[in-house]
Structure 1
Amino acid sequence: MLKIQEIRELIKLIDKSSINEFKYENDGAKIVLKKNGSGESQLAESHAQPAAVQSVPALQPQASVPVVQQQDAMPAAEQKEKVQDETLHKIVSPMVGTFYSASAPDQPAYVKAGDKVSKDSIVCIIEAMKLFNEIESEVNGEIVEVLAENGQLVEYGQPLFLVKSE
């Protein structure tokens, strides 16, 4: 079976290429990567023994029914909030793992809404494969919203914080 880092590399290579679909089978394991219309890859993984499958939540499972988003059907308040979100910087997860807002359960959170952050200040930890990775802010600014909950499984590229940059 491919390692998670190898799968990530495949995803990056496929996103940069003109390939729309990639299939890989080995020893009963099967990986299918597809690009949908927005350029995002999708992953479906199956294995002869489902209990032994390590899920890769970084990507949505392959679906047979396309998902259609209708922005016009959104209420005006949600559209305004979405426009406001576009002006904010998003700190995203660089990996698949478990989000932790503090270094230990008895410690205060690194940051919360309203806190000022500087570039390279630690905002959270993501645990991946028993390794704790400190995630740093890429900008100076103020945390507007924390988008992930403590202990939540997060995906690659998932927004974790909204920051009003200075």
Structure 2
Amino acid sequence: MLKIQEIRELIKLIDQSSIDEFKYEQNGEKITMRKQVKGAGTGTETVVREVAAPQAQPAPAVQSEPQKEQAPSQPKAEEPEKKESSREGLHTITSPMVGTFYEAPSPDSGPYVSAGDKVKPDSVVCIVEAMKLMNEIEAEVKGEIVEVLVENGQLVEYGQELFLVKPE
């Protein structure tokens, strides 16, 4: 089976290319990734990816409802700018897949990391469960956890921000 880092690289390459679908099969194991852009004319994009492992039930397709167009208001336009300025110099750890976020290896254990904890590039910061597989997510940077952006047990999307890290 491909390692999580190899899958991440494949996803990045597919995102940057004009490929709509990618299939990989080796030794009876299959991975299928699909990229769909809906409502390209309205500026709303929904990306749907499916990854299938051997002997696993196919997951239901995840689809977002189209957002209703709203008149842009000035305060909402300024909020992202404030967030961006407060995040300058910080590294963001994102989810490499759609799944369920777990902050600890088991329900009776403490979290892998909390705000203020020091991490190394190979430090496990959380688990994302996808299709009954527990995928350990590493920090990929040396630094200090500034903020945990998701709640334990929360569903996360591909590319969703999980942690903010102040690199050393």
Change (3 A) 1:138 1:39: farther
1:91, distance to aligned residue in structure 2 (A): 0.3
Distance 1:66 1:77 in 2: 18
Distance 1:11 1:62 in 2: 25
Distance 1:11 1:141 in 2: 24
Helix, strand or coil: the match of 1:90? strand
Distance 1:18 1:68 in 2: 34
Task: After TM superposition, list the pairs within 5 Å mapping 1:100-139 onto structure 2.
Answer: 100-139=102-141
Instruction: Give structure 1 stretches of 5+ with no counterpart.
Output: 1-8, 23-30, 44-52
Helix, strand or coil: the match of 2:93? strand
Please state which structure has a larger fraction of its residues in strand: 1
CA contact (8 A) 1:144 1:161 kept: yes
Scaled by the length of structure 1, what TM-score is found?
Answer: 0.65
Residue number among 23, 40, 47 corresponding to 1:42 in the alignment? 47
1:68, distance to aligned residue in structure 2 (A): 7.4
Change (3 A) 1:124 1:64: closer
Amino acid at match of 2:86: Q
1:109, distance to aligned residue in structure 2 (A): 0.3
Distance 2:11 2:137 in 1: 23
For this pair of structures, how many residues does the alignment match?
A: 138
Amino acid at match of 1:88: L
Which residue does the alignment assign to 1:6? none
Which residue does the alignment assign to 1:74? 76
1:56, distance to aligned residue in structure 2 (A): 3.9
Which residue does the alignment assign to 2:36? 33
Amino acid at match of 2:84: K
Distance 2:12 2:36 in 1: 8
Verify: 1:61 aligned to 2:59, yes or no.
no
Amino acid at match of 1:74: K
Instruction: Give structure 2 stretches of 5+ with no counterpart.
Output: 1-9, 22-33, 49-57
Distance 2:137 2:107 in 1: 17
Amino acid at match of 1:142: E
What value does the CA root-mean-square deviation take over the aligned residues? 3.7
